């Protein structure tokens, strides 16, 4: 039986890839998206969104638009959100409104339009710092970095007694430490949806995405993923700007794997109900390494990254995913290696035009005391 799936925020790069996968497996797909100009220049329907997708242009905070989009829908993937740690720290009301209030509007509409399953996109940002262990291999209590240490260039977190700590893959059991407005909003989204699912008996899964990258990412949005930001700089013949010393570790996961995790969650059985699951590659790489690899793949080896020695309020040092729970519950296994994903990204970037807004965004953060 053919399902109709609604993807909120589905004109974005993750949503478009999910839509393509769902269409391929025979689903009907509808997208609700505001076509925000920071992501979609000119507010136009993106060329990469399949013509088979029904697009409803509207804001997730608009109850009438949401109810219209839900007509005839069987399952929902809630991806709509304002994205970006730095910008969230000064556009506080906008991020809170879209991410938290927008989710509330969707859930109120779902009270009157029950669906078979709800999947919500959360983020690795809810962890704050990832999991660390001390010299004896014991998990360290919740780790946070003090601004005074960052101002002194002491980037690595230390234990309560000043002991060295080692970052390890972060499981879902690690307690959240919300270090930005964006992180708080994503945590709101996942908790609201899981609470709603439990109360109204709607099977619900929250997926914590790590650093997704791939084709269709908004190159001209200076608050998008780091790979797209670096690519924008390199395509304009300018060095990627690297904060701190560039040795912070991240988990970069192909958008194809992220979309597949969403598809698996939309089709999962009762074993997934109420679960919070990491979606990453399960591998870590430093920001310096990823900048060098991207430059090499783009033939821009001569453009060395500019390591600024500055920091941004809300940034964390190390966080990479333990994906074993998603493997157990969803059968999720990352399939795209970093090399494969980077080569695909490079091929897509050929002929792309990127407006480099990084300098203006960095100046905005500095003017507000959010980067030092």
- Residues noted as catalytic: 182
Residues 6+ apart with CB under 8 A from 195: none
The vertex-282 CA angle with 280 and 283, nearest 5°, equals 115
* Interatomic CA distance for residues 211 and 334, integer angstroms: 13
Q: What is the CA radius of gyration of the chain?
A: 20
Strands (E), the chain: 4-8, 28-33, 54-57, 75-78, 117-123, 131-133, 166-168, 204-209, 211-213, 241-242, 249-250, 252-254, 276-279, 285-286, 306-307
Map residue 231 onto helix, strand or coil: helix
Alpha-carbon gap, residue 75 to 119, rounded angstroms: 8
User: What whole-number distance in Å separates Cα of residue 148 and Cα of residue 25?
Assistant: 52
DSSP 158: B
């Amino acid at each position: 039986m053919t399902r109709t799936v609604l993807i909120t925020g589905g004109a974005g790069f993750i949503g478009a890839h999910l839509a393509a996968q769902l269409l391929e497996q025979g689903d009907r797909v509808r997208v609700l998206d505001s076509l925000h100009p920071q992501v979609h220049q000119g507010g136009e329907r993106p060329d990469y969104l399949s013509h088979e997708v029904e697009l409803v242009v509207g804001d997730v905070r608009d109850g009438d638009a949401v109810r219209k989009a839900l007509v005839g829908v069987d399952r929902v993937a809630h991806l709509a959100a304002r994205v970006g740690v730095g910008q969230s720290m000064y556009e506080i009301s906008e991020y809170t409104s879209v991410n938290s209030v927008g989710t509330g509007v969707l859930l109120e509409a779902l009270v009157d339009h029950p669906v078979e399953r709800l999947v919500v996109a959360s983020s690795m940002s809810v962890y704050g710092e990832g999991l660390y262990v001390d010299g004896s291999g014991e998990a360290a209590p919740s780790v946070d970095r003090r601004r005074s240490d960052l101002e002194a260039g002491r980037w690595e977190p230390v234990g309560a007694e000043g002991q060295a700590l080692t970052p390890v893959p972060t499981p879902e059991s690690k307690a959240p430490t919300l270090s930005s407005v964006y992180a708080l909003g994503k945590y709101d989204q996942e908790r609201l949806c899981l609470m709603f699912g439990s109360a109204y008996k709607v099977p619900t899964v929250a997926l914590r995405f790590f650093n997704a990258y791939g084709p269709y990412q908004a190159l001209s949005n200076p608050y998008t993923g780091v790979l797209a930001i670096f690519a924008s700089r390199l395509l304009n013949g300018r060095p990627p700007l690297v904060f701190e010393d560039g040795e912070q570790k991240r988990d970069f996961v192909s958008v194809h794997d992220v979309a597949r995790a969403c598809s698996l969650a939309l089709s999962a059985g009762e074993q997934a109900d109420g679960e919070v699951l990491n979606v990453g590659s399960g591998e870590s790489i430093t920001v310096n390494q990823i900048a060098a690899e991207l430059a090499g793949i783009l033939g821009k080896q001569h453009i060395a990254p500019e390591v600024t020695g500055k920091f941004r309020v809300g940034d964390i040092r190390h966080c990479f995913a333990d994906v074993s729970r998603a493997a157990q519950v969803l059968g999720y296994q990352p399939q795209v290696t970093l090399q494969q994903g980077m080569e695909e990204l490079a091929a897509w970037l050929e002929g792309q035009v990127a407006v480099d807004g990084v300098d203006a965004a960095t100046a905005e953060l500095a003017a507000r005391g959010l980067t030092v």
